[in-house]
Amino acid sequence: MFPTEKEFNTLEDFDYRGKTVLLRVDINCPLDKQTLKIVNDSRIRRVVPTVRELMGKNAKLVILAHQSRKGKWDFIGLRQHSEFLSRHINAPVKYVDDVIGKDAVEAIRSLKPGEVLLLGNVRGLDSETAKGDMEAHANGEIVNALAPLIDYYVCDAFGASHRSQCSLVGFQAKVPSASGRLMAKEMFALNAIFSEPRRPSVFILGGAKFGDVSDMIERVLGNGTADTVILVGLVGNAYLLARGVDIGQASSKILSEELTPENLQAAKDVMEKYGQKVLIPVDVAVERDGRRVSVNIGDMPTKEPALDIGDASAEKFAKVIRSSKTCFMSGPAGMIEKEDFAVGTRILMEAMVDSGGQSVIGGGHTGGAAERFDLADRFSYVSTGGGALETFLLGEPLPVIEALKYSKKKFGA
């Protein structure tokens, strides 16, 4: 199920001295909605070892990354990201708000060994997100423009490794490629923990996206990776709805586009099949008169949206988690941006680290929340992946890893 490191090249496999290296990272960060400032830079910090190592090897380092996607409020350029990176590596990071145009090409050509350049948000180009496999993207405009300027391609974008997008899978067929340190570390850490989980193993699935959750439950309970699955956050609300609880219009509205009859049926089916192995909230927390109030599901619907699991659910789930030996949390239990509704997530995370077992978190802004609660260092592993982590756990191939394997076969090490 899990690829081994040497199926693809890693940083030590090439000599980068004086060479131009294109490094694709995932530094897609949560922003403040009002100021558009980065509120958590953990993904930037996590690629620093790779950046430093390549600088230390005197590569001319060109970094490519995305922030959000077109049409979303947090789709912005990467100047701020370059400033954060510069502070973390304690060296200048040049920034050019261009990816394949004249400015980018000139900036790449004038790089000196040991220097770092960050290009603009690659998702500004429609060709980046155009549907296509490795072969199609290998002939895309981004690869056509940049491949002739580089000697090596390194991918450290684990968080985006489930995406088959041009800058993630297109270069591997054109230039010798390797994974960065973070990518390799994620693959190994997750493999070590999930290939032989200690029992009981509990999966907490939360966050906002619930379209794939029934597949995920089927997979982890079906193959025995998990003994119990706990559903929280918007995922929990959706499963309450599938169970026949009237969660009210305000809560349903937030679920919007993923609230399809197929998804609800899949949720029902998986709950029926696995019974008590799938735990859903017994209460939710809403904001009433400016305060957090827990409401039992028997007293729903509420006119206010459910913003977190309620206190009784948090207590019930924490008990299960405390007696686990492996616990994985993907996505938060509530609206963690609001202190009162970060309560559920904090209680579950505290139970995870108190369990003394293997504990892994990832997804959405979960890593950032753990840092805010001062718990991040107490987990066995904090993954930078959200969708990528889920794809990995579902045992589905990650397009970036497949492309890296292809590159090794084509170019060797």
Binding site for ligand 3PG (CB under 6 A): 26, 28, 69, 159-160, 163, 386-387
Query: Nearest approach, Cβ of 24 to ligand 3PG (angstroms)?
Result: 11
Q: 300: Cβ–Cβ under 8 A, 6 or more apart, which residues?
A: 240, 245, 246, 247, 248, 284
Residue that has been written with the tokens 């109030």 in this structure? 293
Of 58 and 129, which has the nearer Cβ to ligand 3PG? 129
Residue 128 beta carbon to ligand 3PG: minimum distance, rounded to whole angstroms:
10
Q: What does the DSSP 8-state code read for residue 10? A: B
Where do we find the tokens 């889920």?
A: 390
Shortest distance, position 68 Cβ to ligand 3PG, whole Å? 6
Which is closer to ligand 3PG, CB of 69 or CB of 277?
Answer: 69
Nearer to ligand 3PG, 368 or 387 (CB): 387
- List the Cα angle 180/386/50 in 5-degree steps: 15
CA atoms within 13 A on the CB side of 324: 30
Question: Residue 254: what residue type?
Answer: I
In whole angstroms, the minimum distance from the beta carbon of 162 to ligand 3PG comes to 8
Nearer to ligand 3PG, 236 or 386 (CB): 386
Tokens of 71: 């049409």
Q: How far is the CB of 159 from ligand 3PG (least distance, A)?
A: 4
- How far, in Å, CA of 29 to CA of 199, rounded? 34
Nearest distance in Å: CB 160, ligand 3PG: 4
Name which of 60 and 123 has its Cβ closer to ligand 3PG.
Answer: 123
Which residue lies nearer to ligand 3PG by CB, 284 or 376?
A: 376
Rounded CA separation 382/63 (Å)? 23
Give yes or no for a contact between 189 and 388, defined as CB atoms under 8 angstroms apart.
Answer: no
DSSP 96: -
